[in-house]
Amino acid sequence: MSRRLVKEYILIVKGCPPQKDGIVDTWIVRDPADRKRFKAVALSGGSKHEKFGEDTEKNGWKADASGAASAPGKRAVTFYHVVSVYGGYSLVRVRLKTGRTHQIRVHMKFLGCPVLGDAIYSRKDELFPNESLALHSRLLKLRLPGKQGMVAFKAAVPERFKRVLAALKAAYPRSYASPGIKAWEERL
């Protein structure tokens, strides 16, 4: 059966992800130090067939009755694509396979590139100290009952987001641009 929902976001992150295109596939768990926050736990921390041990316990994995490790939270999968890089900032496009609380924010922090303006998962930015969360739901596609094909809903990019991008373009030369960037940026 084909997917019934597509969610696409654009965001500005501090830093640049390790790859220009990638998939973040982790467990998302509550941060034991702060119940309002979540954190990503790498899948390599254990599996259903791995015996429970000290290292799996530190990563949040629990032992079941047989001593096998079981997942600490919910699996979360995020696909990302770096659109362009300006100095120490990147414009990133993201699609979600799952929809966990704070998923994009947690996964970007996991990659070492927190979302600009994120008061929970990042520190105040020196260049944009008063910026709010630079995360925007750009596209929602879904299959409506009784309709053939997907119906797309697009949201215009907020002016505050455009202002940050303009400031980055003015302050830094673009050090990376994905193919077709000019046409994509014109749609922003």
DSSP 6-61: EEEEEEEEES--SSSEEEEEEEEEEETTEEEEEEEEEGGG--TTSBP-HHHHHTT-
CA 102, CA 187: separation in Å to the nearest integer? 26
Give the pTM. 0.80
Mean pLDDT of all residues in 59-68: 48
Q: Is 180 left (phi over 0), alpha (psi -120 to 50) or beta?
A: left
- Look at residue 182 in the predicted model and tell me its pLDDT: 59
pLDDT band of residue 179 (cuts 50, 70, 90) is: confident
Tokens of 60: 């949040």
DSSP 123: P
Higher pLDDT, 43 or 184: 43
Q: In this predicted model, what pLDDT tens digit does every residue of 80-89 receive, in sequence order?
A: 999 999 999 9
Q: In this predicted model, what pLDDT tens digit does every residue of 117-170 receive, in sequence order?
A: 999 999 999 999 999 999 999 999 999 888 888 999 999 999 999 999 999 999
pLDDT band of residue 180 (cuts 50, 70, 90) is: low
DSSP 124: P
